[in-house]
Amino acid sequence: MKQHSEVLRSVVVTAVLVVLLSMAAVFGTFQRSIQLQSREWVIHTYQVLQQLEAVSSSLAGAEAAQSEYLQTGDQRYLERYKTFSQRAELAVNKVRQHTADNPDQQINIGSLFTKVGEKRAIMDELVNKVSPRDANSASISETETRSLRYTQEIQKILDEMKQAENKLLEERALELAENTQNGNLLLLLFLALAVGAVLLLGWFMRQYLLGRINLERMLAARAHQIQLVLDTMSDGVILADMDGKFVLFNPAAQQLIGPLYSMSPDKWSHHFGIFGTDQTTIFPAEELPLARAMRGESVDDVELYVKSPSVPSGRWISVTARPIRPSDDDVFQGAIVVFRDISERKEAEKRVSEFYSTVSHELRTPLTSIRGSLGLIEGGIAGEVNETTGQLVRIARVESDRLIRLINDILDIRKLEAGKLELRKTTTQSEDLVERSIQGCQGFADERGITLLTNIKTGGPLECDEDRVIQVITNFVSNAIKFSKPGGKVTLMLQPATAAFKFSIIDEGEGIPPDQMHKLFEKFQQIDQTDSRRQEGTGLGLAISKAIVEEHGGTVGVESQFGRGSTFWFELPAVFSPAHIIKDDTTDGGDHPALIVEDDAKLSHLLKAHLTQDGFDVLCAGTVAEAEAILSKVRPLVVLLDINLPDGNGLDLLTKLDGQAGGGEIPVIVITGGSQSSDYGNPTLVDWITKPFDSQRLTRALDKVRQGFGSAQVLIVEDDPSTRSVLKEQLKTLGIDCREAPDGQQALIELHEHEPDLLILDLEIPAPSGSQLIDQMKSEGNGSKPLIVYTASDLTEEQKQRLSLGLTAHLTKSRTSEEQLLNTVRSFVSRLLLEKVRESNKEVIDG
């Protein structure tokens, strides 16, 4: 910008200079012409004066010649007289000519002309009339006297004219002098200004040039500094243009990956020997950070392996690349890549990993013997143990268990930190996770005199690493038990959250002081606790739990009231949004009510989970009285009934139900310890399941119930004919009617012609592909169709979001058993049919 203003200033000054000079030139020319004019005028006046003199002298000459002639009579004098007389006339005519433009002289010139004419006439008269002899006659004398008088008058006029001309001359000379002086002064001024402008311009030029020189020096210095930085740094830097030509690089770049010369970017990987993290497959050239940056991406910390004739021993590099876009100051377009040697770090990581592995082995081997020996003694395998010894052995066993837990926790933390916690995700029922965790913790709870309760408000499939989630729940539950007073209770609640399941572990312990809350989930943090409980944990459990939950894409948190208890919770993303089992504090049972009459709380929970998964809004009763209360308000779609209830016989309830209006149509599944009484043969009895409870049998019974609700049609879109037919056969056993489509085209036709209730879609089908099919369905207003995406590839959350219609589940082929797929279909179909039933009931009511 500074340069700009300097140039502008120089231009302005130059322009001013040009204007000044041209003005001076124009003015000079003008002045010159005025001077010339004035001079002409002066010459002209001089000429007039000269002629006037000529008039006077010619007349005098003529007079003198005339008088000589009169005295001598010599003809020569007569000739002379004539010459002078003519001269006088000529002179007068010239004067007349010259003064024609001067009005002041006109009167004088007029009288001069007349007088000279008359004078000449008199003189001619004298010469002609009088011969030289008569010279002395009286008439001569009289005429001579007249002539003399004319001479005097003429002289007078001439004098006046001369005077006037002289005056004019004086005035003109003065004017000329004045003009010349003023003109010269102005010219001088212009010249002075021009010189000033030239000097100014010169100064500006000097400043500008100095600025340029300084700038160039600075640039050179900066370039030198940058060169030094590039030469000194151990990171490799390469700047490439849009054709992939290396326009700049530093020595480190060549040291790290070998000599650099430009080549087509698709040859880079091969030429430089760039491999992926497995160290064996050539890294795709178009995916190289520099190539990606040339396409406009910013790439950070990509780890690559380089091994080539230039780098024979191999080297790990971490690469960062940025696109270079043209800017105001620079039109260059290309990309820059910076990479560093991370071989040492990689080597260190490998050694650390090996170290952990070895340490783990070296610690566990002796612990196996210790723990094993203690376990065998404690278990009485080695013979009867007396009470004191038993107590001591138990202490040793418990402590070695703790040591083992600590080692496991440390290894977990190490894996989490190295980002190496690999989740083995499978589709699991969320409520099963709760049940299994509770079973695992029951022993510890009994030991501490704590009651474990579950409060399952929802259920359904969850894609997670079962072992890890159970580890998290167990960790929270055992913490809760640890910090509860004997006789207290710990509740494990499962409830729906936004597209997630929320697991809450609620205790009635001491609670957590507010100032300690923030560090709960940090490593090796335990709440400052004066009593011995502090000693029990490793201080890693919560940090590990948090990391596991976050690895699942979930969140974790805690709420606590000091002195009143704490709630630790975590949420895991659901396969499809979970529904409430019971709408809190209401008994209307929702849109699809089902009633469970069962006094065994655990079995009741299990049954509830089962029904919830099928889309029922479940109401639970523990007694006949409760069941009757519910039945007075709600007409359930199905009843699961236990016979032996605390306040009576479930069969009585059935009899009563039969008596109710429409009650006899409600399907009933009996679950009981006793065998089916022969005297009960209600036609709506679907099944009589004897305990121990078999969930398979309940599933089949519910299938039968569902078939009573109507039928749903499923469209299977799958290109593999055998998979298709297997699936079809299996669905047939569930009483579900199927149609098939081997490709997207056929699927679209099926969708239009048969309007299936549910779509089971393989994504990898011939055109249009599964994802295109979904897009098309969305655009055709079919966006709320229930969908089960059954694909070979692992989908990201983002992809799942995109590949969704109405109620949607995403199942990965390799991770989903046939049973899981069938369960999902069953659950979907059940929900669909329940919705149909609700709508038809509504129509009946409305109609």
Partner 1 sequence: MSSNSSKKIEKVLMVDDDANIRLITEMSLKKLTAWQITVAASGREALMAAEKEPPDLILLDMMMPQMDGLTVFAELKTKLGVDMPKVILMTAKVQSHEVDHYKQLGAAGIISKPFDPMTLPDQIRAIVNSES
355 binds partner 1 (CB under 8 A): no
What's the N-to-C CA distance of the chain in angstroms?
A: 82
Q: Kindly state whether residue 378 participates in binding partner 1, applying the rule CB under 8 A.
A: yes
The C-alpha atoms of residue 606 and residue 434 are separated, in whole angstroms, by 10
Q: How far is the C-alpha of 79 from the C-alpha of 74, rounded, in Å? A: 9
- Stretch of residues binding partner 1 (CB under 8 A), selected from 408-416, 528-536, 672-680, 770-778: 408-416
Among positions 144, 465, 703, 750, the unique one binding partner 1 when judged by CB under 8 A: 465
Among 2, 133, 361, 518, binds partner 1 (CB under 8 A): 361
Residue 373 touching partner 1 (CB under 8 A):
yes
Least separation in angstroms between residue 566's CB and partner 1 is 28
Q: Does residue 442 bind partner 1 (CB under 8 A)?
A: no
Q: Indicate the residue among 110 and 379 with the shorter CB distance to partner 1.
A: 379
Complex with partner 1: residue 120 or 468, whichever CB lies closer:
468
Non-local (6+) Cβ contacts of 778 within 8 A are: 805
Binds partner 1 (CB under 8 A): choice among 296, 372, 673, 735: 372
Told to check if 367 binds partner 1 by CB under 8 A, we report yes
Q: Applying CB under 8 A, which of residues 173, 200, 404, 634 lies at the interface with partner 1?
A: 404
> Cβ(24)–Cβ(191) under 8 Å?
yes
Q: How far is CA 333 from CA 89, 237, 325, 327, 691, in A?
A: 99, 16, 5, 9, 77
Part in contact with partner 1 (CB under 8 A); list of ranges 363-371, 531-539, 670-678, 733-741: 363-371
R_g over Cα of the chain = 62
Neighbouring C-alpha atoms within 13 Å toward the C-beta of 191: 8
Closest CB to partner 1 among 205 and 421? 421
Q: Among residues 297 and 349, whose Cβ is nearest to partner 1?
A: 349
Of 37-45, 138-146, 377-385, 754-762, the window that binds partner 1 (rule: CB under 8 A) is 377-385
Shortest distance in whole angstroms from residue 472 CB to partner 1: 13
- CA atoms of 755 and 775, how far apart (whole Å): 17
- Name the minimum Å distance from CB 330 to partner 1: 53
**One residue of 170, 300, 422, 780 binding partner 1 per CB under 8 A:** 422
Shortest CB 313 distance to partner 1, Å = 28
- Amino acid at residue number 760: I
In the complex, the smallest distance separating the C-beta of residue 366 from partner 1, rounded to whole angstroms, is: 8
- Run of H or E residues at 343: helix 343-378
CB < 8 Å & 24+ apart, contacts of 283-290: 288/319, 289/319, 289/320, 289/321, 289/337, 290/238, 290/240, 290/244, 290/265, 290/319, 290/321, 290/335, 290/337
Span from 242-250, 464-472, 481-489, 670-678 in contact with partner 1 (CB under 8 A): 464-472
List, in sequence order, every beta strand (DSSP E) within 465-548. 489-497, 500-507
135 binds partner 1, rule: CB under 8 A: no
Handedness of CA 651, 656, 659, 665 (dihedral sign): negative
> How many CA atoms, within 13 angstroms, populate the side-chain half-sphere of residue 210?
6
Return the number of the residue (492 or 548) whose C-beta is nearest partner 1. Answer: 548
By C-beta, is 329 or 447 nearer to partner 1? Answer: 447
Instruction: State which of residues 408, 649, 684, 713 lies at the interface with partner 1 (CB under 8 A).
Output: 408
Smallest separation (angstroms) from partner 1 to the CB of 834:
31
Of residues 467-496, those binding partner 1 (CB under 8 A): 467-468
Report yes or no: 620 and 603 within 8 Å, Cβ to Cβ. no
- The residue among 164 and 469 lying less far from partner 1, judged by its C-beta, is 469
Cα–Cα distance for residue pair 139/142, rounded to 1 Å:
5
Among 400, 491, 545, 567, binds partner 1 (CB under 8 A): 400
User: Quick check: helix, strand or coil at residue 462?
Assistant: strand
- Using the rule CB under 8 A, which residue among 3, 136, 141, 357 binds partner 1? 357
Q: What is the DSSP string of 355-413?
A: HHHHHHHHHHHHHHHHHHHHHHHHTTTTS---HHHHHHHHHHHHHHHHHHHHHHHHHHH
Q: Which is nearer to partner 1, 405 or 778 (CB)?
A: 405
Q: Give the tokens for residue 527.
A: 């709440």
Contacts of 717 by beta carbon, 8 Å cutoff, 6+ apart: 740, 741, 743, 744, 746, 747, 759, 760, 761, 762, 765, 770, 773
Question: What are the residues binding partner 1 (CB under 8 A)?
Answer: 357, 360-361, 364-365, 367-373, 375-376, 378-379, 381-382, 400, 404, 408, 411-412, 422, 424, 465, 467-468
